[in-house]
Chain A
Amino acid sequence: MDESLEQRFASVVQPHFAVLYRAALRLTRRRPDAEDLVQDVCLRACTRLEDLAAVTNPRAWLMRALYHCFVDATRRRRRRPHVALPDDEAPGAPTSDEPGPERAAEARRMHERLAAVWHRLDAEQRALLSLHAEGNDLEELAAIFGTNRNALSARLHRARQRLAKLLASDQPESSLHLVETER
């Protein structure tokens, strides 16, 4: 066993770690799940370190791995149910510097509604919207999802419209829900 595996892993992955985590947090919307997901991606990266070190765009590689791990996890992983508690650091959670109580209330309401409908999007749509919100442009997304720019933009628009519909139709409800078979 070579001592340097950890070092090599760190030198390739660490520069992209914050982006990876933020994307995972947007995708899962809960910190513990984001941490699990980041860990899955890193374990995968570790087994394919040679590939990863050789690619020109390691960030896109990691984002693609993130997407695949997320899909795998939603598809296969059977977790025993537990009650997820509200996560005030989840993306979109209102911040204390929100101007005025009305804006803060509005932000909280939006955060809760988003959390309530998020799991009703399919995994690819959640991934598309999250990675886009994390600042990837259409070219980057096309590379990550292995498709061309036009097809990707059409999928992104569909995902956004579906989310808009869910947000409009969903009755405001608590963002707390029983986490059943997916994380």
Chain B
Amino acid sequence: MNCDTIDSILDDHRWSRLSPAERQDLAAHLAGCNRCAGTSSAHEALAGGQIAEPPPELFARVLRSVSAARVHAHATRRRDRRVVAAAAAAVALVAVVAARYAPLDSFAVVIVRSPANTYTAEVLSKVKNQLGFGAAGDGGENVAAPPAPRFVAGVDYYVLATALPPAADAEHVTVMEFFGFWCLPCYAFEPELTRWSAEDPAHVAFTRVPVLFGAYAEAALHARAFYTAEALGKLDAMHGDFYDEIHVRGNRLSSREALTEFFARFGVDGATFDAAFDSRDVDARVQRAAALAREYGIDSVPAVVVAGRYVTSPGTAGPEVLAVVDQLVAEEAAQGAAD
């Protein structure tokens, strides 16, 4: 048996169907040939293990996104036409109009606030009418269609196959961020998220949920520390510092001792820390966090779950992730009000 034979065995998928005699020949060749030993183990690595079948809901999801993309494309074309009409009415506004992906309702605001604004109220109202913002009976003949949602399921966010609405009152839409203090992208996402959550719209209930992925030695420890801080009422004071300690000061907080020392800086003495860290209450919160991540199938962080039903992330939606969250919250709130 030579190298060419072995290549063709691999090429023709005969590797697993060799006769005992062929197997012996093969083993003899591999023992003396590094090249073939390497390529055959590469082949085995590729072929080995089992390959999962598509998740049962994937085809349905793809089908929905195929439909959604079609609707979305149609809506975008509609919007373009309206924008073109506006540009014809007021050529001077072309530059502003080019920002056609600005949310439509803030569009008029952009025009008004423009520092170079010399437009008369008359021009402005004409443009608004053309865009479909004219108040009813204010001369606008167009009845504006409701704007199509900017973000689409399957592209900017995913819909969970089984919605698992978290226990929440009917007036609030829950938004959860899954994160890890050790996770650099979570740290990068943090300022934006903090700003967003500080706006604190009345109908949003925002929580953070640390993930406990086993492969990161610190994950479980940090999750416990997170809930310890929460139980002690120190979370607001410590959350940002926790990230900074790891990513700025390079202290990975990877042991209980390091955490004790870190908590001491926030006025938590060792005994108080120990009592909270080992408490059943914290234990239960950690278990619940682990269960949530499992239920929602969180497999990368940061990730944001809205209303127990939608999952998005900076990785999925890009820089507009929080606008996606806002849209989903608005849709949920409207749905809740309609029910």
Contact = CB atoms under 8 A, between A and B. Distances in A.
Nearest to B293: A85
Contact of A18 (B54, B66, B300, B319): B54
| Interface footprint category on A | 35 or more
B70 A5 contact: yes
B53 A82 contact: no
B165 interface: no
A1 B47 CA distance: 44
Given A81-B188, A133-B46, A160-B39, A21 B54 contact: yes
A178 B186 CA distance: 12
A149 B293 CA distance: 47
A144 interface: no
A21 B58 contact: yes
Interface string A130-151: 1011110110000000000000
Interface in B42-66: 42-55, 58-59, 61-63, 65-66
Given A38-B58, A84-B300, A167-B42, A10 B51 contact: no
B69 A46 contact: yes
Contacts of B58: 17, 21, 35, 38
Contacts of A5: 66-67, 70
Contact of A85 (B11, B43, B50, B300): B300
B299 A31 contact: yes
Contacts of B53: 18, 21-22
Interface residues of A, dominant DSSP: helix
A32 B299 contact: yes
Interface string B20-54: 00000000000000010011011111111111111
Contacts of A42: 62, 65-66
A86 B215 contact: yes
B213 interface: yes
A93 interface: yes
B54 A43 contact: no
Given A6-B67, A43-B65, A135-B13, A163 B302 contact: no
B244 interface: no
Contacts, number: 163
A81 B184 contact: yes
Contacts of A130: 46
A164 B318 contact: no
B314 A46 contact: no
Interface stretch (A54-62, A66-74, A106-114): A106-114
A61 B218 CA distance: 46
A63 interface: no
B87 interface: no
Interface residues of B, number: 55
A151 to B, nearest CB: 13
A164 B39 contact: yes
A105 interface: no
Contacts of A178: 184-185
Contacts of B49: 91-95, 107, 111
A32 B54 contact: no
A167 B65 contact: no
A160 B62 contact: no
Interface in A93-139: 93-95, 107, 110-111, 113-114, 129-130, 132-135, 137-138
A161 B48 contact: no
Contacts of A92: 45-46, 48-49
B301 interface: yes
A80 B66 contact: no
A83 B63 contact: no
15 contacts: A18-B54, A22-B53, A25-B51, A26-B46, A38-B54, A38-B62, A46-B66, A82-B300, A91-B50, A92-B48, A110-B45, A161-B35, A161-B39, A163-B42, A168-B38
Interface of B: 7, 10-13, 35, 38-39, 41-55, 58-59, 61-63, 65-67, 69-70, 74, 154-155, 180, 183-186, 188, 211, 213, 215-216, 299-302, 313-315, 318-319
Given A22-B54, A160-B10, A164-B38, 5 more contacts: A132-B11, A133-B47, A138-B11, A161-B42, A179-B315
